[in-house]
Structure formats: C-alpha cells, structure tokens
Chains A and B, each alone.
Chain A
Amino acid sequence: MELYVVQFLTGLANAASLFLVASGLSLIFGVTRIVNFAHGAFYMLGAYIAYSLTIRWQTPLGFWLALLVAATAVAVVGALLEILLLRRIYHAPELLQLLATFGVTLIVEDAVRLLWGPEDLVGPRAAGLSGAVSVLGRPMPVYDFVLILLGPAVLGLLWLLLHRSRWGLLVRAATQDRDMVSALGVNQKWLFTGVFALGVFLAAFGGGLQIPRDAVSHFMDLSIITEVFVVVVIGGLGSIGGAFLAAVIVSELNAFGILILPSISLVLMFLIMAAVLVLRPWGLLGKPLSRARSMATREAAAWKPLSPAGRSAALAATIGALCLPFMLGDYGVGVASEVMIAIIFAISLQFLMSVGGLDSFGHAAALGLGAYGAALSVQHFGVSMEAAIVIGPLVSAAMAVVAGWFCVRLSNIYFAMLTLAYAQIVWSVAFQWVDVTGGDNGIVGVWPSDWASSPAAFYWLTLAAAVAVVALVRHLTFSPFGYALRALRDSPTRSATIGISRQTIQHIAFVISAFLAGLAGVLFAFLKGSVFPDTLSIASSVDGLIMVLLGGFGTVSGSVIGAIVYKVSSIWLMSNTDFPRLILGSLIALLVVAFPQGIVGTLQIWMMRSRLFAGRPQEGTARLAETGGLS
C-alpha cells in the first residue's frame, strides 16, 4: 500500500515537467498550427543551459534563477527561430513546418554535443530542497513535493495569463479562428512570435526542472517529444487544462505500469492514446479543430501522366542506374541499394500523402512490419528470400487492414497522430517482446539467396523493385481509383455526392501503401542482414516525411528525388563529418526556405514562371497566385 502511495506521488511529480513541455507545445499548435518537433530539443537545451548555471549558482535562489535565465535564453532562441525561419514558411504546406522544426532538432542535438560534450551530465540537487521526507515510512525527495505543487501553480498562472489579459484573449481567439483574428487587424506576426517564445520558455523550464532528478543527456529530446505528443493528443490539441490532466494520466500510467504490467508498460501509453483518438479524436478536454481556411494548395500544376519526353528521361535514368555497379565500389553499391529502398519507402508514403491527403506520421510501422515479417519468417520457418519478399509486405498489409480501419475514421492531424500511435505500439511490441523479436538486440542472420548475395546483384534487385513500385504508384495515381482518392482529398463533400465512399477508398490506399512500404522493409532487412526496432522508430517515420516533403508533395513522384538527395547526403555526412546532424539540419532548414514546395515542386513553379514570361501571362499568373509561387 505504502509503495502505491509513494509511486502515485512520484507520478504526480513527474507530471509537472511533462505538463510544462506539453502545455507549450499545445499553445504553439493551437495558435500557429505548427507541430513543433523541435520542442523536445528546446527542452533539452533548457536542461543543458540550466545545468551549466546551477553548478555555478548553488544557492536556493540561484537554482530557480538559473532555471528562469536558462528558459528565457532558450525562449529568445525560439523567438529568433520563429522570426528567421518559420515566418517564411507559414504559407507553405503545413507539414513543411514540421520538417523545418525537425531540422532545428538535428542542429540543436549536435550543437549540444559540441558545447557540452557527448557524456551524460549529472546536475546538482536543488539547493535547499535536497532532503527527503518520510511518507508512510518511505523516503520521498522534498523536491518532488515542490514539483507536485509547481504543476498546478503553472497551470493557474497560464490560466490567468490566457483569461485575464488582453494578450491571452488574442491567443484564445487565434486558437479558435486565426484568420478572423488577423481580419480584425491584430498583428498576427508578433502574436505568433510571442506564443512561440512562451511555448519554448515552458519547454526549456520543464527541461531545467528535471536536472535534480535525472542526468542531462542527448536522448532527452526524442524521449520527451514522444511522451509530449501523447499527452497533447490525450488532453486535446490546444487545451492547457487538457495537457495538465493528460500529463497526470500519462505519468501515473508510467509509474504504475512499470509496477503492475512491466512487460507491456511501453505499449500501454500508446494504446490509451489510440483509444482516446478513436473514441474522442479531439482529446479529453479539447474541441474539434476548425479547419484552417487558408489551405495551401499542393500542386504546382495539374498532374499528367509522363509525356514522351518524360518517359525517355525516366528510361535514361533507369539505364544510368543500371550501370552504377560498374562505376562504384562495393560500398558505393551498398549505398545505392539503400537509396533504392528509400525510394520505395518514400514513394509509398507519397501515394498516401500527395494523392490521398493522408499525412501519416507513422509510416515506419509499415516499413518495420515488412522487415520483421520477413526476418521472423526466415528465422522461425527458414523460408527463402524469395518467399520472404512476398511474406513481409503481406504482413505489413494485413496489419494495415486492422490499423487502417481505425485510422481512416479520422482526418488531418488526428489521422497523423493515430498513425503515430500505431507505429509506436508496433515499436513497443518489437522492443519489449524480447522472446520473439529479440528486443533491442534485433534479429540477425537475414541474408539474401545466393544469386542476390553479391552487392551488385542485390542492388539490381532493389533497383528493379524501385522502378516497379514507382511505375505502379504512378499508374495507380492516374487510375480511376487514384482519382477517387484524390477527389476525397480535394472535396470530401463532392466525392460523397458522386458516390465515392471515403472510408473504403482511403482504407484500400492505406493498405496498398503499407504493402509497398513493407517491400522496402524486407529489402532493407536483407541488405543489412538484420532488423532492429529502430526501423519502427519515429525517426524512421520522419525520414519518410522528409523525403516526401523535400521532393515536393504536390508532385506525383517528387519523392524519388527527395529520397536520393536526402539519403545520399545523410549517409555522406554521417561518415565524413564530425557533426553531421548540424549540417543536415541546416541543410533541411535552408531547403525548406528555398524550396517551399519541395525540390521538384519548386522547380515546376520555376518552369511555369518561365513559361509565363514566354507569353501565356494570364494562365501562368492565376496558377502561380494559387500555388503561392508569387507571394
């Protein structure tokens, strides 16, 4: 009994930091509609700066001052980021902002490594609060009690700020309808900057709060961001009270999950999140989101099947790719195989996102299930590579039949979050069901058949698969089914009145996409000879998003270019520079600003612009204005 009480109190203390970070994310999302992936990075940065300050100022006042100074400093960084980077891309497709903030996360990760070194740092205890009190005979740190009180205190302060100040009124108004707020003459720019800075402040402060409880490390950002997404979704996007409630629920779930159901403790959190999304998509205390009216369009031009010139170019590129093994060494051919697999993964996601308008944040599930499906059937049933290539995608598709049934009942950001939960559930199972999946040790010994065992032969296999998948996806895009899928994205209302049933069509697209991503997963498993839970991680889903967005998700197959550019540069940077994330992150941020419609999408706009000066002014202008190319 005593154990449970103490565990409950510890859970409450954990909730404080989680709530601060989550409320910041929720505020930012509510007003700017940015899913700020960098929120975890700001949390980590806050912790590192606060660490450096607290070891210098070891007085009771000094500790809290250090936290405030650190959080303010990070908030300034956040505001600068908003002004310099995000402001330029508010009119770009919404997901691009997610990509930009992911770039920032990479930059911060390496910056922290550069400034503080790679080791975990153990900070001092909070001066004056380092003792423990006895609760039912068990010791509880005094600091935990401070945290238990701090959470509600911050909640109260935020409530006062939002409900008793003019600025707060504007923030609440913008959360409901930001277009209306700007129509009323409120300077939206500074409102956005202010909200962003406040949100970042809360994240950084939350990071500082963790110093006396936990070591400061490089993994803080990704571990917190996952939990924070869960909290924000359960509580309701944009709801501060919801963030508090959900932070408590999630923290208690973690505290007791480890005690009562250790083997499924990881899955539990995501199962709850999935259940909330299915039963009450807008969260416990949230309200259904009003759709932003200024929806950025996705296409630079009406999609057309390849022209004869385009076909010749694609053929030439394929022939060029066929010749690669004669020009590259074994290492280069290995990289090329990885690029081909990335193309399959990216194009499968692009089909879902560009054609279907279904932005999946959990496409890693489809990739990883293919990989695990193949690896497990090789390990347990000794099947051949040829059989595994069929089995893997089928496993992925079969799981997508089940998960997709739930996912397609939601739309927009809620769909994205449910797919994220799906991927995390699968990841947790792979990670914790050690008997079957090997857990963190993965499954090894997944080697290709003899005929495909040389690097060149395996590369040709991946190339053939990539060409087939890209051709198939292009074909499907222009098939009646593809048009029906696109019609649902363009206008659900019109689609229904011409007899297109949304859930059925989207469900099928979800399964097709999972099947193709599963194929990428199988090939990846045989390329590496092994499978690890990493394949299913958020980072892997984000990889897919980056490739699609970088290529241009207003295009049919721009992600082919996106995959090549991203994979080649990230592999090269990882092996040739000391701070690859710093460079890659900066590169992503630059590309996002320079190519707001993705590389291929932006090139298409440039081509149209040149056509505009070549004599079809009216048409070109109309198109450009629509696609935001002139703004």
Chain B
Amino acid sequence: MTALLEVRNLSKSYQGVKAVQGVSLQVAPGELLAMIGPNGAGKSSCFNMLSGQIRPDSGRIHINGSETTGLSPERIFRLGVGRTFQVAETCLSMTVRENVQLALQSWSTGLLTLRAFTGRLDRNFRPQADALLALIGLDDEADRSCRELPYGDIKRLELAIALAGDPKLLLMDEPAAGMAMKERILLMQLTSRIARERQLAVLFTEHDMDIVFEHADRVIVLNRGQLIAEGSPQSVRADPAVQAVYLGSGALYAQGH
C-alpha cells in the first residue's frame, strides 16, 4: 500500500502551548481515516497544517508523492487537495452553481489567464458544475443564492466545491456538524461512495462516534496534541487509553467506589 497522504512527526506550538506534538499518519487511496479526540486535542491545527493555513514548526507532509510542508493553501490545492471546514466557508454572495463554477475554473485554467478577464464565469463549466451538484443532490438549488440555503445544504455544497479540483485527497473537518441526523448519514454514505469510486484518500474529523465507527476504515485518536491510538474502529473502541480519554470521569467514578 502506498500512502497518498504521509505525515511524519508533525508539531505545532502556540506561545508555548503544544497544540500538536509529533503526529504521524498515512491515508491510502480509497481509504477513510477518521481523526477523533476531545475538544482542543489538536485536530483543527492538524487540518490547517495539512491544507496550508498554518505552518508546522517541524515534521514533514507528503501528498501524492510531493512534499507540501509549509506550502500555501493555493499550491496545495493545485496538488489535488480538497477541503471542507468545520464552519462552512462558501461565497455567500454567489449562487450555488457559481460557487462550483469558480472552483472548476480555478482548477482548470487558473484565474490569471487572459480568458479569466474576457470570459463570463456563469457560462463556463456549466455541465461540469451541474454534474457535481447532481452528485451531492443540490441540482435543484443550482440557481439559488448561497445566502438563502439552509446550513445543511451549504455543508453539502462545500463537498461539491472540494470535489471540483479533482482531488486525490479530501480533508473534511467535521463535515456533518450542524446537520440533521438523516442528512449526516446521507452525507457520510455519499462521501464513502465517492471515495471508493474515485479512489480518494479521505481524512475527516467527527464528534459523532456512530458516524465514525460506521464509516471510517481506520481511526486515529488525538489527545492534547499527541496521537494516543490508531487502528480499526473496533480496536480503537476497545483501547483502554481511548476509553480513559473519552470516559475519564467514569474511571475516576469507578475508583471512588
């Protein structure tokens, strides 16, 4: 198995607080890796280093064979990385389709060619955008302003935008946060299906353990910036260290009696 995402010894501190300490992980094509851990475990910091929002203090990141440590988000996008955010980031002033069209245009031609100045965005990449919207089930909303969408739909739109760059790796920070239960399950099923069909590597975080155990191929557990467990959902669930983190108060409770 050659890993699509390979992370070695990643560390980041903020004014002395060690947010991430020596985290290593790999994700293979077609694999869904869940990163879990309590609040403040360093999950978002990890994600932001992988997608280039923040620079790691040390460690190496390789994506699809090339080193991406310290590259800008724009460069990392060009290497085939799609990303969704814990709090959805879309362009609210544009329509649903335009959001996808812009990502498609950026991926295929960039936005600094002559045609980026002479053309009209809403006429470009229309079929491709509609295909992506159909894939995530937002085709009926294509002409609506993004501002008018329910939050759950905006989260789904983020997936379509992330897929527009024909990614090899998807980074999804709490993809289902803020969605209704049924929507969450559908979104995760869709994500796993796309990942297998297109052989995408997917790294995601999630607080809902049912979703994690249902959809992840493997799970890694972070606590206070360190990786404390790694393995199949079943083995992680049975891991005493993980239980101590998640059921810490329970253990104390048991001791007290």
User: Using Cβ atoms and an 8 Å threshold, which residues of chain B touch A490?
Assistant: 90-94
Q: Which residue of A lies closest to B92 (CB)?
A: A490
**Max chain B Cβ within 10 angstroms of own Cβ: one of A481, A486, A505:** A481
Query: Residue A486 contacts which of B82, B94, B147, B148 (CB distance < 8 angstroms)?
Result: B94
Docked complex: B157-201 residues within 8 A CB-CB of A? 161-162, 164-165
Asked if A379 lies at the interface with its beta carbon under 8 angstroms from chain B, I say no
A496–B73 contact, CB under 8 A? yes
Does A457 have its Cβ within 8 Å of any Cβ on chain B? Answer: no
A1 interface contact, C-beta 8 A: no
> Interface extent on B, as a size class?
35 or more
The verdict on B74 contacting chain A, using a C-beta distance below 8 Å, is: yes
Question: Using an 8 Å CB-CB cutoff, how does the interface string of B103-123 with A read, 1 for contact, 0 for none?
Answer: 101110111100111111110
- B-contacting residues, A472-510, CB 8 Å: 475-476, 478-484, 486-487, 489-491, 493-501, 504-505, 508
Q: Is the CB of B118 within 8 A of A479?
A: yes
Contact (Cβ within 8 A) A484 B106? yes
CB contacts (< 8 Å) of B109 on chain A: these are 480
Q: Which residues of B contact A305 (CB under 8 A)?
A: 120, 122
Expressed in whole angstroms, the Cα–Cα distance for A299 and B164 within the complex equals: 26
The residue that B74 contacts in the complex, of A476, A501, A622, with Cβ under 8 A, is A501
Q: A297-B147, A481-B111, A623-B147 are in contact. Are A497 and B73 (CB under 8 A)?
A: yes
Partner of A499, one of B90, B95, B165: B165
* Closest beta carbon of chain A to B156's beta carbon, Å: 15
Q: How far is the CA of A484 from the CA of B118 in the complex (A)?
A: 14
- Which residue of the partner chain, among A302, A475, A494, A505, contacts B89 with CB atoms under 8 Å? A494
Interface: A335 (CB within 8 A): no
Which B residues from 110 to 158 make CB contacts under 8 A with A? Answer: 110-112, 115-122, 124, 145, 147-148
Chain B residues with Cβ below 8 Å from A489 are 93
Q: How far is the CB of B113 from chain A (nearest CB, A)?
A: 9
Report whether over half of chain A's contact residues are helix, strand or loop; otherwise say mixed. Answer: helix
Q: Across the interface, do A483 and B121 meet the contact criterion of CB distance under 8 Å?
A: yes
Contacts of A497 in B (CB 8 A): 51, 73, 77, 81-83, 89, 162
Q: How large is the interface on A (under 10, 10 to 19, 20 to 34, 35 or more residues)?
A: 35 or more
A327 → chain B closest CB, angstroms: 37
CA distance A297 to B91 in the complex (A): 12
A456 to chain B, nearest CB (A): 34
A490-B94, A496-B73, A499-B106 given; 12 more Cβ-contact pairs under 8 Å: A297-B92, A298-B93, A299-B93, A302-B145, A487-B91, A493-B85, A495-B91, A497-B89, A498-B77, A498-B107, A498-B165, A499-B77
> Which residues of chain B come closer than 8 Å to A487, judged between CB atoms?
91, 94, 102
Asked if B13 is at the interface (CB within 8 A of a chain A CB), the reply is no
Tell me the complex Cα distance, A298–B93, Å.
9
How would residues 291 to 327 of chain A score, 1 for a CB under 8 Å from any chain B CB and 0 otherwise?
0000001110111010000000000000000000000
Asked if A484 and B102 make an inter-chain contact with CB atoms under 8 angstroms apart, the answer reads yes
Q: Is A626 engaged at the interface, CB distance under 8 Å to the other chain?
A: yes
Q: Name the residue in B51, B93, B161 with the highest tally of chain A Cβ atoms < 10 Å from its Cβ.
A: B93
Distance of A170 from chain B, by nearest CB (Å): 28
- Report if A499-B120 is in contact (Cβ < 8 Å); known contacts: A298-B93, A486-B91, A623-B147: no
Task: Say yes or no: is A619 at the interface (Cβ < 8 Å to chain B).
Answer: yes
From B164, which residue of chain A is reached at the shortest CB distance? A498
Q: How far is the CA of A486 from the CA of B95 in the complex (A)?
A: 12
Interface check B66, CB cutoff 8 A: no
Chain A residues engaging chain B, CB cutoff 8 angstroms? 297-299, 301-303, 305, 475-476, 478-484, 486-487, 489-491, 493-501, 504-505, 508, 619, 622-623, 626
- Residues of A near B98 (CB, < 8 A) are 483
Question: What residue in chain B is nearest A485 (Cβ atoms)?
Answer: B111
- A483's partner among B73, B94, B164 (CB-CB below 8 A) is B94
The answer to whether B145 touches A480 (Cβ under 8 A) is: no
Given contacts A499-B106, A500-B74, A622-B148, contact A478 B89 (CB under 8 A): no
Is A483 within 8 A of B102, CB to CB? yes
Nearest Cβ on chain B to A150's Cβ, whole angstroms: 39
B interface list, Cβ under 8 A from A = 51-53, 72-74, 77-78, 81-83, 85, 89-95, 98, 101-103, 105-107, 109-112, 115-122, 124, 145, 147-148, 161-162, 164-165
How distant is B169 from chain A, measured CB to nearest CB, in Å? 12
- A493's closest neighbor in chain B, by CB? B89
> 19 A-B pairs, CB-CB below 8 angstroms?
A297-B93, A299-B93, A302-B147, A305-B120, A475-B120, A478-B122, A479-B120, A480-B115, A484-B116, A490-B90, A490-B93, A490-B94, A494-B91, A494-B161, A496-B53, A496-B73, A497-B82, A497-B83, A498-B102
Set of chain A residues within 8 Å of B115, measured between Cβ atoms: 480
Beta-carbon nearest neighbor of B75 in chain A:
A499
State in angstroms the CA–CA spacing of A298 and B82 once bound together. Answer: 28
B149 to A, closest residue via Cβ: A622
Query: A499 to chain B: which residues have CB within 8 Å?
Result: 74, 77-78, 106-107, 110-111, 165
- B106 contacts A500, CB within 8 Å? yes
Complex CA gap A299/B148 in Å reads: 13
Whole-angstrom distance between the alpha carbons of A482 and B148 in the complex? 22
CB distance from B163 to the nearest CB of A (A): 11
Known contacts A479-B119, A480-B124, A623-B148, A302 near B93 by CB under 8 Å: yes
Q: How far is the CB of B252 from chain A (nearest CB, A)?
A: 33
Residues in A whose Cβ lies below 8 Å from that of B102: 480, 483-484, 487, 498
How many angstroms from the CA of A476 to the CA of B118 in the assembled complex? 8
CA distance A476 to B115 in the complex (A): 11
B137: min CB distance to chain A, Å: 20
Q: Is the CB of A303 within 8 A of B148?
A: no
Are A623 and B111 touching (Cβ within 8 A)?
no
Which 8 pairs from chain A and chain B are nearest by CB?
A496-B73, A494-B89, A490-B91, A302-B145, A499-B77, A484-B111, A480-B116, A498-B103
Contact B74 A496 (CB under 8 A): yes
Cα A190 to Cα B95 with chains together (Å):
40
CA distance A53 to B203 in the complex (A): 73
How many Å lie between the Cα of A498 and that of B91 in the bound state? 12
- Point out the residues of chain A lying under 8 angstroms from B145, CB to CB: 301-302, 623
